[in-house]
Amino acid sequence: MENNPRHFRTMDIVYLLMMILPVVAGIILKILTYPQSEGIAISGARVFFTIKMPLQDLPITESQINSWIVMISVTGLCLYLTHGIKVKADTKRQHIAEWIVENAEKLVIGNMGEFFLGFAPFVASILALSAFSSLLSLFGLYAPTSDINITAGWAILVFILITYYKMKCGPLMYLKSFGDPVKFLAPLNIISEIATPISMAFRHYGNVLSGAVISVLLATGLQGLSSKLLGGLPGFLGEFPLLQIGIPAVLSIYFDVFSGCLQAYIFAMLTMLYVSGGFPAEEYFRRKASDKQTV
């Protein structure tokens, strides 16, 4: 860094642009392609185009594009925070990066145990991707977490991890676990297993979408109320949206910021609890100890 400060600053600018430009491009894309409408317009993710595939056509939707915007921006943020790191932190960005890593590791150890310490990057990625996806609505963009297809994809990935760790002691023990504590509960345990990714997907999607819908309805209602109160005034005063100043912003702090971050935290917590809770730790370590004694 010290030998070539110009190159260092150039890379900093590149990483900053990686954070900013995708969001700007998303805003421009929405302005250029969003159809004009009157009144309340609440709809799902728009389909930009469809790619013909042998088995089923692949639609490219607004939520997919915005997910890539988030991933590129988060990647740029990570590269910026870790650019020029040293053994001993001497910059604010490195202190922030170390704080994120330390807290992610503490969160994983506190909820999953030392054995799952390697999950810290994955959990941090879930938190970042989910939170920033919900926060996109602050820029007027469609939040990917408002699309059930996105949250369902995350939930399926988590379900694969849950099943993988449940089968650490072999498929036979995994199948036997459905008969715990008594065998006649096996059908209920199977239903509970299938319901895990479904509940995770719908909980995240439903909370984020409901917040967006409530925000739109309240903003539209305040616009109509302003027209009723000021409609008798002459000129632009009769059209001035007085009640839309400040109140929607306060509501946005809860529905877009607080609720979005809260749902990201809940999704990450459920991921950690389901994975660690399904892992047969005692049997796994007993077998490991037995194998070492045999060797």
Query: Is the distance from CB of 89 to CB of 95 less than 8 angstroms?
Result: yes
Query: What's residue 219's pLDDT?
Result: 72
AA letter at 177: S
Q: What is the pLDDT of residues 224-240, one digit of tens each?
A: 777 777 666 665 555 66
The tokens describing 13, both together, are 């600018």
Query: What's residue 82's pLDDT?
Result: 92
Query: What's residue 131's pLDDT?
Result: 92
Model pTM above 0.85: no
Query: What's residue 232's pLDDT?
Result: 63
How far does Cα 160 stand from its chain's mean position? 18
Q: How confident is the model at residue 87 (pLDDT cuts 50, 70, 90)?
A: confident
Give the separation between CA 3 and CA 90, rounded to whole angstroms: 17
Query: What's residue 73's pLDDT?
Result: 96
Q: What is the pLDDT of residues 173-227, one digit of tens each?
A: 888 888 777 777 788 888 988 999 999 999 898 888 887 777 777 777 777 777 7
DSSP 48: E
Q: What is the pLDDT of residues 30-79, one digit of tens each?
A: 888 877 655 555 667 888 889 888 888 888 899 999 999 999 999 999 99
Q: How confident is the model at residue 98 (pLDDT cuts 50, 70, 90)?
A: very high
The contacts found for 56-63 with CB under 8 angstroms, 24 or more apart, are 61/147, 61/149, 62/142, 63/142, 63/144, 63/146, 63/147, 63/149, 63/150
The tokens describing 142, both together, are 């469609």
Query: Is the distance from CB of 150 to CB of 138 less than 8 angstroms?
Result: no
Kind and range of the H or E run holding 66: helix 62-82
Query: What's residue 240's pLDDT?
Result: 60
Query: Which residue from 169, 168, 248 is spatially nearest to 215, judged by alpha carbons?
Result: 248
Better-predicted residue by pLDDT, 215 or 1:
215
Q: What is the pLDDT of residues 4-39, one digit of tens each?
A: 788 889 999 999 999 999 999 999 998 888 776 555
Q: What is the pLDDT of residues 100-154, one digit of tens each?
A: 999 999 999 999 989 999 999 999 999 999 999 988 888 888 889 989 999 999 9
Q: How confident is the model at residue 1 (pLDDT cuts 50, 70, 90)?
A: very low
AA letter at 82: T
Q: What is the pLDDT of residues 245-281, one digit of tens each?
A: 666 667 777 777 888 888 999 999 999 999 998 888 8
